[in-house]
Amino acid sequence: MSKICGGIFTSHVPGIGKAIAQNLQNDPYWKPFFDGFDPIHRWLAAEKPDVAVVFYNDHGLNFFLDKMPTFAIGAANEYRHEDEGWGIAFARPFQGHADLSWHIIEHVVASEFDPVMCQAMTVDHAVAVPFELCWPGKDAFPTKLIPIAINTVQHPLPSPKRCHDLGKAVGRAIESWGGNEKVVIFGTGGLSHQLEGERAGHINVDYDKFCLRNLAPDPEALLQHDTLDIVELAGSQGVEILNWIAARGALTGSVRELASNYHVPISNTAAATVLLSHSERVLA
Amino acid sequence: MLPSSRLMAQGKRAIPGTLVFDGDAAQAGYALNAMCYSFNSLANRQAFAADEEGYMERFHLTPEQKDAVRQRNVLGMLAAGGNVYYLAKLAGIFGLNVQDLGALQTGMSLEEFKAALLEHSVTETRVAQDGRLAA
């Protein structure tokens, strides 16, 4: 049976991608953020997950407002990042796992979710930046991708509880898969930030710390706020925490925080990176 | 942006300094956002740069949207239904990043906007004792 070995939660600011392209990892502005990935690199080298299931939001690469799915699950054997308007396209393709995607789709639809199913989709910086951060360099990614897009753009957005429940259904689906893959769950985006309006530049360290404190031991604490509460607290893009809430939902067993790095600011964003380990049973 | 009083009259929640991109905004902004979405393609970015007026006409922008684009008025584009995820692609053509946009919208200089972000400056790191994390 498949196993979920843990969760990786990280901001996905496009500027991080630019910093990677320009090799600025040791630049004083960027170093405190990139250093947060040292424990994740060691953990990934030890765990060697086969598949990454990534909860993220598309920013206008694959989806436009003509057809905006609340939830969309990739079911392709390959995905690519493409130019999002700034001329940067990460070259490394992402290998998919269509069979496991379809198993997840079957399971979550049986659990009364209604995702859009995508046999062809591009993935934007919200997937590409976390992959580049986790597996730096030029070699092919050692881990396959299953992207799950959550609408955080066009209101009404799904509720935090709905996202958490979707994550639970995805977690149960993975653990009922007959293969022997080791799976890591990603939640990308956040933490507090707001790009538009008179309140552009909004940061809320208190709310971010509340999320970071509760993510591992009590994720349901994050469900006390509805989506507009979160917009008010964390900013109109801080609502990307929905991706973290969904990803945390997929970790239904025993969870322990292995690493956490919070660094403000990166561009307009309060950046954070968290690594959680996951096992089905409590360890002796 | 709609004034708070009007939002409340519509039964909508008002969040200070913040535009919630809801169905009304999405309908009002469709043409502008569709144009910005087209800028994922380099050829389209070049076509816009070569003939802004013709390109805006092709996407049927409203007069309000066209004026906001002509004036590089970010708050005007938002008021006309623009969504920042799409507007960011237009801003890129003008050589502006999200920090430039932040400064333009808040009436600060870029340096002031960056300094305001740095007022929140904090770094907090925790790493557990775990064999898998050993260097």
Facing B120 at nearest CB: one of A154, A194, A205: A205
Lay out the sheet containing A71-74: strands in order across.
A116-118, A71-74, A144-150, A51-56, A182-188, A3-10, A269-279, A254-266, B122-127
Asked if A153 lies within 8 A of B15 by C-beta distance, the reply is: no
Helix (H, G, I), strand (E, B) or coil at A159: coil
**Residue B39 at interface with chain A, using a CB cutoff of 8 Å:** yes
Taking CA–CA distances from B41, the nearest residue in chain A reads A85
**What's the pLDDT at B99?**
92
* Count: domains in chain B: 1
Name the token pair of B4.
Answer: 């708070």
Q: Specify the length of chain B in residues.
A: 135
Taking CA–CA distances from A266, the nearest residue in chain B reads B117
**Rounded distance between C-alpha atoms, residue A144 and residue A150, angstroms:** 19
**Rounded distance between C-alpha atoms, residue A209 and residue A191, angstroms:** 10
Q: How far is CA B37 from the centre of its chain?
A: 12
What is the block-wise mean pLDDT of chain A (284 residues), using blocks of 10 residues?
95 94 96 97 97 98 98 98 91 97 98 98 98 97 98 98 98 96 97 95 98 98 98 98 98 96 96 95 61
**What's the pLDDT at A116?**
98
**Residue B128 at interface with chain A, using a CB cutoff of 8 Å:** yes
Size of interface A-B (CB pairs under 8 A): 170
Using the predicted structure, report yes or no on whether residue B1 has a pLDDT greater than 50.
no
Contacts of A199 in chain B (CB under 8 A): 16-18
Taking CA–CA distances from A200, the nearest residue in chain B reads B102
Residue B45 forms part of a structural domain: yes
**What's the pLDDT at B134?**
76
Helix (H, G, I), strand (E, B) or coil at B16: coil
Omega before residue A32 within 30° of 0, cis: no
Residue B51 forms part of a structural domain: yes
Pairing of strands A269-279, A94-95: unpaired
Q: Give the minimum alpha-carbon distance from B42 to chain A in angstroms, rounded to a whole number.
A: 7
Facing B123 at nearest CB: one of A39, A235, A263: A263
Helix (H, G, I), strand (E, B) or coil at B22: coil
Residue B91 forms part of a structural domain: yes
**Domain with B89 in it:** 23-97
What kind of fold does domain A3-279 have according to CATH? Protocatechuate 4,5-dioxygenase; Chain B (3.40.830)
Residue B131 forms part of a structural domain: no
What CATH number should be reported for the domain holding residue B91?
1.10.700.10
Does residue A125 carry a catalytic annotation? Answer: yes
Residue B108 forms part of a structural domain: no
Spatial contact of A274 and A133, defined as CB atoms under 8 Å apart: no
Residue B123 forms part of a structural domain: no
Phi, psi of A8 (to 5 degrees): -120, 125
Within 197-226 of A, beta carbons closer than 8 Å to B belong to: 197-203, 205, 209
Using the predicted structure, report yes or no on whether residue B108 has a pLDDT greater than 90.
yes
Within 9-68 of A, beta carbons closer than 8 Å to B belong to: 15, 32, 35-36, 39, 42-43, 46-47, 59-61, 64-66
Name the token pair of A154.
Answer: 């066009």
Residue entry with tokens 């710390």: A209
Does residue A107 carry a catalytic annotation? Answer: no
Pairing of strands A3-10, A182-188: parallel
Helix (H, G, I), strand (E, B) or coil at A213: helix
Q: Where are the domains of chain A?
A: 3-279
